[in-house]
Amino acid sequence: MLRYLNSCSRGRGAWLLLAFTAFALEMAALYFQHVMMLKPCVMCIYERCALFGVMGAGLVGAIAPKTPLRWVAILVWLYSAWEGVRLSWEHTMIQLHPNPFVTCDFAARFPGWLPLDKWLPSVFVATGDCTEKLWTFLTLGMPQWLVVVFAAYLIVGVLVLIAQPFKPKRRDLFSR
């Protein structure tokens, strides 16, 4: 399996699949926000940023999968997935165990050199409350589903990282 994951990481298809899944989740988030009129909270916005990181890693990996740029993509993927797990877990705990002393901020804090909320307010401005459970599917809320999604990204990312030293088998029709 590790050899297979190594060979996948050296091709564009797997990286594009990674980017596409993150893109599909971003589109779902925008559908929830702009069509279903669910207001995203600050934690939701931060979780979106982590998804954008996973999507960016997929695009970087797809650019040059057989070069050292693949390592940059794997590291961005792992960092974004880890932050996504951390943020969505924190968001889940805020919703499951409401506490008046543990709340989220009123507005997302982006660095001065990257004011995403100013550049693209329809995507990065938080208008909701972190403690509100606006949507559920199979009894799990949105942050709980994001824990599952980011954990899956993280597990696959760790396996791909572990698989890097395992060289793929060369399959040649005429070799022994």
| Residues known to be catalytic | 41, 44, 48, 104, 130
Alpha-carbon span 119 to 113, nearest angstrom: 11
Which candidate, 91, 81, 82, 89, places its Cα nearest to that of 42?
91
Cα dist. 75→55, 88, 157 in Å?
Answer: 13, 20, 9
3-state secondary structure of 29: helix
User: Taking the CB of residue 156, how many other CB atoms lie within 10 A of it?
Assistant: 15
Nearest to 65 by CA among 14, 19, 99, 105: 14
The long-range contacts involving 11-14, CB below 8 angstroms and separated by at least 24 positions, are: 11/65, 12/62, 12/65, 14/61
Amino acid, res. 48: R
Compute the distance between CA of residue 18 and CA of residue 85 in angstroms, rounded to an integer.
17
